[in-house]
Chain A
Amino acid sequence: MAWIVAIEVLVKIGLLLGGLMFAAAYLVLVERWIAAWVQDRLGPNRVGIPLTRIRLFGLGQPIADGVKFICKEEFTPAHVDRVLYTLAPVMMLVAALAAFAVIPFGSVLPGFTLPDGTVYQIQLVLLPGLDAGILLFLAFGGIGVFGVALGGWASNNKYSFFGGVRSAAQLISYEVPLGLSILAIVLAAGSLRLDRIILAQADTGWWNAFVQPLGFLVFLVAVCAEAGRLPFDLAEAEQELVGGYHTEYSGMRLMMFLVSEFLHMIAASFLIVILFLGGWHFWGLTGSGLEVGWGGALLRVIVLVAKVFLVILGFMLVRWSWPRFRFDQLMDLAWKVLLSWGLIHVLLVAAWMYWANEWPVWTLAVANWVSLVVVWIVTALISPPECDNRPRRELGPVGNVTPVAVSAA
């Protein structure tokens, strides 16, 4: 038995690492295409098969980029803290990759009988049956912050430092509403395991996004901020901070940072799909139980990956749609809006679970939609009617300081 578990785990690790690296490389290409199309350009469409004139719509671009990164000089500036400087990108990449250990990339494979007569079923997740599930994911997300903060600190550069500090503050702030919205999901599903959460949604056919729209909204915004995507990319705001925490990095170390940022986005998309959009479930297509044939198992993987891809496309479109937040606005959003929304949401779900657990699930959905509308209107009414942060005229002249010291002398 032990040998088959070892083979299973090794194959899964290989598939996961290869798939993730491949996905990250090609998502960079997709991101560049989307960026170009939104700006009325064509985007990378030249690089195809080397030494030929075959272009393949630029599908060779990620390979060319990879070769370029490998060939680049890995320059270490003289003024950095060498140990932390080397450690930071490694830490970030490891944390980003390790987080995928608990993320299911499908349902299960059909069981098969071993020579000794036992039935063996493979679950499509690296650590099957791990009860900590989502907690492990959040923990690795927390370690990822270290990579950013250390990279900014070790670079010994004020822009990198600003980027690292901003990022640390942002990630810690948004962990709170993120945790609250996940808490409501866990309450409703009764388990921390991501596969159980998918199964709970598949059983009823009610995806959590329809049942808990308020939590979905909070989670969407918080996870976007956690992934450091625009409009929350203050950590590496190019216009202000050169490159943020990775200004001083080059070569493979820079690539590790960039890849882990993409992995964060992929992980965030996986979480959105698994927690709120039904995971591998699709009505009338995938079934809901754990008994599947090979076709069903494959279909579930395809449905899950397709959903994740659509969510990632959404991330990429959002990047070009809305302006970046100012830092005080970012903190306001986290602590004044999302935190209160998340608390209301958790209270609502908890109350429903306690008193109304026997009621049909649509009652929770109705209550949640109503609370979303009410909460949104209340927030709009009490939010400041303008965001003018200039000194107000009533405060008198600014900068027109009477030279007291001079007249005294």
Chain B
Amino acid sequence: MSQPGTKKIRWVNETPLSPIERTYIPLVVQGLATTIRHLFSKKITVQFPEERYQPPDPIIYRGVHRLNRDEKGRVKCVACFLCSTACPARCIDIEAGESPWPDREKYPVRFTIDMLRCIFCGMCEEACPVNAIELTSLYDLSGKSREEMVFDKNKLLLIYDWTKDAEPPLERLIAAVGTREVPGGQSPPEAPEETWPPADAAAFDRVAERAAEARLSPPGT
């Protein structure tokens, strides 16, 4: 820390007021003009329950988590604990068990996220090696009790079922883009059976459009 009066401090003098400014008239007029301009300008309030804020890019929005399913509908998670290790809020609790399926060793018997502790930083999504946990664009998260806000595996899988059409999982997006560079330098994985989204350059835009069209709330509620 340098002391005042030493050469490290650059002393900035206030600009002296001009004779016109010293009458205060321009400043007073400027202040009122700004106020009146905003009085009649377009309002930005979103009338929440009737209108809903649409995240400009739902794919990268950090809302409620979901647990992705693979092509056979099984939970994709391999219970590697990387997400719970990466989590700065320590809100992910996993109980691993021996996998009943031949293509992996472990799977999560229990997988709970305490949404009251979660800070929605997205570290878990970044840490996941198999793209099993992702953050959706659901943002109106509420509950009537603390227990209700601890999301278990079934609930997280349900969120996947709600949001998979509007917000496709990462691999499908990568496959849709096809030639784009994949983070980490790996080759893009095989495209799944479905033809959607189409493998052209505008895929990201269409995904965003579909996400905006589809209502991101649970069907039937």
Residues of B within 8 A of A317 (CB): 32, 35-36, 39
Residues of A within 8 A of B44 (CB): 40-41
Which residues 378-409 in A have Cβ within 8 Å of B in the complex? 380-381, 383, 385-388, 393, 396-400
Tell me whether B39 and A386 are in contact (CB under 8 A): no
Among B13, B24, B36, point to the contact of A388 (Cβ < 8 A). B13
A252, chain B: closest CB distance, angstroms: 31
Given the known interface contacts A380-B23, A386-B16, A393-B11, the answer about A320 and B35 at a Cβ–Cβ threshold of 8 Å is yes
Residues of A within 8 A of B19 (CB): 380-381
Tell me whether B31 and A321 are in contact (CB under 8 A): yes
Assign chain A's interface to a size class: 20 to 34
Tell me whether A397 and B4 are in contact (CB under 8 A): yes
Given the known interface contacts A396-B5, A397-B3, A399-B3, the answer about A385 and B35 at a Cβ–Cβ threshold of 8 Å is no
Tell me whether A38 and B35 are in contact (CB under 8 A): yes
A361, chain B: closest CB distance, angstroms: 27
Q: Does A122 contact B (CB under 8 A)?
A: no
**Given the complex of chains A and B, what is the CA–CA distance between A385 and B21 in angstroms?**
9
Q: Does B8 contact A (CB under 8 A)?
A: no
Given the known interface contacts A322-B28, A381-B19, the answer about A400 and B4 at a Cβ–Cβ threshold of 8 Å is yes
Q: Does A325 contact B (CB under 8 A)?
A: no
**Given the complex of chains A and B, what is the CA–CA distance between A381 and B36 in angstroms?**
30
Q: Does A42 contact B (CB under 8 A)?
A: yes
A224, chain B: closest CB distance, angstroms: 13
Residues of B within 8 A of A387 (CB): 14
**Given the complex of chains A and B, what is the CA–CA distance between A393 and B44 in angstroms?**
46
B199, chain A: closest CB distance, angstroms: 42
Interface contacts beyond A40-B42, A385-B22: sample of 13 additional A-B pairs, CB < 8 Å, sorted by A: A37-B40, A38-B39, A41-B44, A42-B47, A317-B35, A317-B39, A380-B22, A381-B22, A386-B14, A386-B15, A393-B11, A397-B3, A397-B6
Tell me whether A398 and B4 are in contact (CB under 8 A): yes
B51, chain A: closest CB distance, angstroms: 11
**Given the complex of chains A and B, what is the CA–CA distance between A399 and B6 in angstroms?**
11
Q: Does A54 contact B (CB under 8 A)?
A: no
- Count of chain B residues near A, Cβ 8 A: 30
Tell me whether A376 and B28 are in contact (CB under 8 A): no
Tell me whether B4 and A39 are in contact (CB under 8 A): no
> Across chains A and B, which 8 residue pairs bring their CB atoms closest together, nearest first?
A397-B5, A321-B31, A42-B45, A380-B22, A380-B23, A388-B14, A385-B16, A400-B3
Tell me whether B17 and A400 are in contact (CB under 8 A): no
- The 19 sampled A-B contact pairs (Cβ below 8 Å) are A37-B38, A38-B38, A40-B41, A40-B43, A41-B45, A317-B39, A318-B32, A377-B23, A380-B22, A380-B24, A381-B19, A385-B22, A386-B15, A386-B16, A388-B14, A396-B5, A399-B4, A400-B4, A400-B5
Q: Does B145 contact A (CB under 8 A)?
A: no
A7, chain B: closest CB distance, angstroms: 45
**Given the complex of chains A and B, what is the CA–CA distance between A399 and B4 in angstroms?**
7
Residues of A within 8 A of B13 (CB): 386, 388
Among B14, B31, B42, point to the contact of A322 (Cβ < 8 A). B31
Q: Which has the most chain A C-beta neighbours within 10 Å: B27, B34, B38? A: B38
B50, chain A: closest CB distance, angstroms: 11
Tell me whether B23 and A40 are in contact (CB under 8 A): no
Given the known interface contacts A322-B31, A397-B3, A398-B5, the answer about A37 and B23 at a Cβ–Cβ threshold of 8 Å is no
Tell me whether A383 and B22 are in contact (CB under 8 A): yes
Tell me whether B23 and A386 are in contact (CB under 8 A): no
**Given the complex of chains A and B, what is the CA–CA distance between A393 and B6 in angstroms?**
11
**Given the complex of chains A and B, what is the CA–CA distance between A42 and B24 in angstroms?**
32
Q: Does A266 contact B (CB under 8 A)?
A: no
Q: Does A192 contact B (CB under 8 A)?
A: no
Which residues 266-324 in A have Cβ within 8 Å of B in the complex? 317-318, 320-322
Closest to A389 in B: B14
**Given the complex of chains A and B, what is the CA–CA distance between A37 and B4 in angstroms?**
44
**Given the complex of chains A and B, what is the CA–CA distance between A387 and B17 in angstroms?**
9
Residues of B within 8 A of A396 (CB): 5
Q: Does A102 contact B (CB under 8 A)?
A: no
**Given the complex of chains A and B, what is the CA–CA distance between A397 and B32 in angstroms?**
41
Q: Does A34 contact B (CB under 8 A)?
A: yes
Residues of B within 8 A of A376 (CB): 23
The proximity string for B residues 28-72 relative to A, scoring 1 for CB distances below 8 Å and 0 otherwise, is 100110111011111111010000000000000000000000000
